[in-house]
Amino acid sequence: MPIIETQGLSYTYSPGTPYKKDAIKGISIKIEKGDFVGIIGHTGSGKSTLVQHLNGLLRPTSGKVLLNGRDIWENPKKIREVRFKVGLVFQYPEHQLFEETAYKDIAFGPSNMGLDGDEIDKRVRTAARFVGLKDELLEKSPFELSGGEKRRVAIAGVMAMQPEVLILDEPTAGLDPKGRDMILGQIAEYQKENGATVILVSHSMEDIARTTKKVLVMNKGSVAMFDETQIVFSRAEELQSIGLSVPAVTRIFMQLRGMGYNVGDNAYTVKQAVERLLPLLKREVGNND
Amino acid sequence: MAIISAEKVKFYYENYENSDNQGNTPQKPVLDSIDLEIKKGEFVAVLGHNGSGKSTLAKHFNAMLLPSGGRVLVGGRNTADENEIYEIRRMVGMVLQNPDNQIVSTIVEEDVAFGPENLGVEPGEIRRRVDEALKTVGMYDYRLHAPHKLSGGQKQRVAIAGILAMRPECIVLDEPTAMLDPKGRKEVLDTISRLNREQGITIVLITHYMDEAAAADRVVVMESGRILLDGTPREVFSHVDKLRQVGLDVPQPTELCYELRKHGIPLPEGVLTAEECVAALSMLLEETYADN
């Protein structure tokens, strides 16, 4: 049984007004337990609208969201529990820090779950370790932290609820390469260690290519593709046709193939490209020796 | 001729907790004796990870910050001279990272008019400049729109138009695309490249996107408040190891050639774009196929 399933999910903003907009239309997807899924698409393609349905922040105009096989809106009074099970980290989550210390901010979610003090403390410290925050930072005010540290506090706050599904909306936006690599590494580790289901929304094809196992491509409110990362990136021409920019190495492979070289499938990371090209090029270098 | 020159610029943030009784601050300087000349008409990208001092340096270029030691000259005027500040800020405009933090008005054209109004430009001339600036950045059709309803890339272009209306000689952009999606990034980058090429406006682009830096004439890499590398993109990106050490990426095509070279494949150094990479690879593959 998939951990999350949507059936014909549609959402319309401002229905019955001149500003009516169908943000997502008839989305039916299944996400299995332990999956690491990337969601890509243009601004306005419906990515954020979709993920806000998965933890019940938005209620579908039509269609259903099932969590462990049960409609999350079956009993609207219990929607809060869904939010403990499906944790959502918003874009620029550091803008939402509000407590006096980083510790208290991370503890906010678990406290709301009604856990006892010891358990809360344990979870706060575990989550802080996951995102690489040192103990001494926990007693500081969020205002004293750097942008990257604040971001990690905010992510830890959701991880501390130990949700079955962790959704992150553009967790690396605005970070430098070092901060980006650190956060992506920590998310991948969290996913592996807890067997958690993770959904990563990103504009960065490179980030998606490096971390996720499956990719959901959104276009104009519908699902354009949903498949294993490798298969999605092998359809680079289609991705480009819906205006998504593919990684530079993928473009290099497309062009080489276009020139008639048999370089194999599209590569989407530098590592893959090296592996594919090396045997072809080695032959040539060897011949010259 | 240098439009901006930084001479042995040092900068410390005042930190009262750490300072001793004499008011001395023992901590490391944010900028540690920077010497940098930016020539008129240049397109310079400044790279560095967060905390490397790149934004602090940029803020010295239009007197938003004043050096703790050394001096900054803008068109020969010292930024520490209060009487020169108006002229310096007219000459050097600044675009910030978050487009929402720099909008002052509820209508696009009023926002663009804010700068020239403050300079005391007469109304007819303001009208002309606003229209021209909005046309230049491709936002003229949106002149009566509300800025908060625009996309991030459109907002940044309005911010650039606001500076253009002051007739600047130089625009400093501090990570203008960090919060934008790929489409918005392209819009902003195309706009600034065009301003540089067609109007000869000097551009200083602070960024941590390597592909943006690759489009500049010159790349300056900052690390720990000092200048680590300074040269053409080709020169700078040939130092793959050094860039990685300080937590920066290199463009993917550069990285691919670098990795292949490590395996003994004779590829040239300093490959920047996918096209160059394809050309270099196809030459080698050509020979392979010819052999068969």
DSSP code, position B101? G
Calpha distance B88→A115 (Å, rounded): 58
Which of B55, B174, B211, B265 best probes binding to A when mutated, by most A CB atoms within 10 angstroms? B265
Whether A239 maps to a domain, the answer reads no
In tens, the pLDDT along A65-80 reads 999 999 999 999 999 9
Asked if B180 contacts B30 with a C-beta cutoff of 8 angstroms, the reply is no
pLDDT attached to residue B71: 96
N-term to C-term CA, chain B: 56
Query: Do A188 and A70 have their domain in common?
Result: yes
Helix, coil or strand: residue A201: strand
Q: Which of A231, A260, A281 is the last residue of a domain?
A: A231
3-class state of residue A235 by DSSP: coil
What pLDDT score was predicted for residue A93?
A: 87
pLDDT score of A132 more than 80: yes
**Whether residues A284 and A187 fall in one domain:** no
Task: Please write down the long-range contacts of A147-150, taking CB distance under 8 Å and 24 or more positions apart.
Answer: A147/A94, A147/A174, A147/A175, A147/A179, A147/B50, A148/A175, A148/A176, A148/A179, A148/A182, A148/A183, A148/B50, A149/A102, A150/A94, A150/A97
The ipTM value here is 0.76
Task: Look at residue A242 and tell me if it is in a domain.
Answer: no
Place of tokens 């993928």: A250
| Helix, strand, coil percentages in chain B from 3-state DSSP, rounded to 5 | 45, 20, 35
Distance in angstroms (rounded) separating the CA atoms of residues A249 and B151: 29
The reported pLDDT for the residue numbered A289 is 45
**Are A264 and A160 found together in one domain?**
no
* Stretch B39-58: mean pLDDT: 92
Q: Is residue B291 over pLDDT 80?
A: no
Average pLDDT of B3-11?
A: 96
Asked if B253's CB is within 8 angstroms of A146's CB, the reply is no
Q: How far is CA A15 from the centre of its chain?
A: 29
Same domain, A162 and A278: no
Q: Is A231 on the interface with B (CB under 8 A)?
A: no
Whether A150 and A94 have beta carbons less than 8 Å apart is answered as yes
Domain membership of residue A241 (yes or no) is: no
Chains A and B form CB pairs within 8 A to the count of: 108
Residue A8: DSSP 8-state:
E
Which residues, 6 or more positions from B269, have their beta carbon under 8 angstroms from its beta carbon? Answer: B238, B257, B261
Q: Is A277 on the interface with B (CB under 8 A)?
A: yes
A219-223, A278-282, B197-201, B236-240: least confident range: A278-282
For the ranges A173-187, A248-262, B126-140, the one whose mean pLDDT is highest? B126-140
Based on the fold, state whether residues A251 and A162 are members of the same structural domain: no
Contact yes or no for A61/A238 (Cβ under 8 A): no
Q: Cβ of B25 under 8 Å from any chain A Cβ?
A: no
Cβ atoms of residues A154 and A94 within 8 Å: yes
Do A215 and A260 lie in one domain? The reply is no
Residue B16 pLDDT greater than 60, yes or no: no
Q: What's the DSSP call for residue A145?
A: S
Determine the 3-state secondary structure of B176 from DSSP: coil
Domain presence at residue A237: no
Q: Which residues of B touch A248 (CB under 8 A)?
A: 211, 251-253, 274, 277
Please tell me if residue A107 touches chain B, with a CB cutoff of 8 Å.
Answer: no
Which of A223, A182, A244 is CA-nearest to residue A43?
A244
CATH number at residue A110: 3.40.50.300
Are A217 and A258 members of one domain? Answer: no
Please give the tally of structural domains in chain A: 2
A135 and A269 both lie in a single domain:
no
- In the block, residue with structure tokens 């930024």: B79
Do both A99 and A153 map to the same domain?
yes
> Is the residue at A236 inside a domain?
no
Please give the mean pLDDT across all residues of chain B.
Answer: 89
Beta strands in chain A (DSSP E): 4-13, 21-31, 36-40, 62-67, 70-71, 86-89, 165-169, 197-201, 214-219, 222-228
Question: Taking CA A86 as the corner, what is the angle to CA A84 and CA A90, rounded to the nearest 5 degrees?
Answer: 100
In what order do the strands lie in the sheet containing B31-39?
B31-39, B2-11, B69-74, B77-78
Domains of chain B, start order: 2-101+168-249 (3.40.50.300), 251-292 (no CATH)
Angstrom distances, CA of residue B127 to CA of A153, B103, B121, B140: 47, 19, 10, 12
What six digits make up the tokens of A113? 């779950």
Query: Which residues are A4's β-sheet partners?
Result: A31, A67
Chain A contact for B208 (CB, 8 A cutoff): yes
Put simply, the answer to whether A287 touches B288 (Cβ < 8 Å) is yes
- Same domain, yes or no, for A58 and A115? yes
Q: List, for residues A150-190, the tens digit of each pLDDT value.
A: 999 999 999 999 999 999 999 988 788 888 888 999 999 99
Contact with chain A for residue B81, Cβ under 8 A: no
Q: Which amino acid is at B106?
A: T
Q: What is the extent of the structural domain holding A264?
A: 247-289
Per-residue pLDDT of A179-217, as tens digits, reads 888 899 999 999 998 889 999 999 888 889 889 999 999
A191 and A220, same domain (yes or no): yes
Residue B20: the pLDDT is 53
Same domain, A79 and A170: yes
**Cα gap B194→B192, rounded to integer Å:** 5
Residue ranges of A 46-75 with Cβ closer than 8 A to chain B = none
More confident residue, A96 or A52: A52
Residue A215, classed as helix, strand or coil, is strand
SS (H, E, C) B24-77: CCCCCCCEEEEEEEEECCCEEEEECCCCCCHHHHHHHCCCCCCCCEEEEEECCE
Model confidence at B149, in pLDDT bands (50, 70, 90)? Answer: confident
Q: What is the pLDDT of residues A96-124, one digit of tens each?
A: 888 899 999 999 999 999 999 999 999 99
pLDDT at A276 over 50: yes
Q: How far apart are CA B33 and CA B68, in angstroms?
A: 10
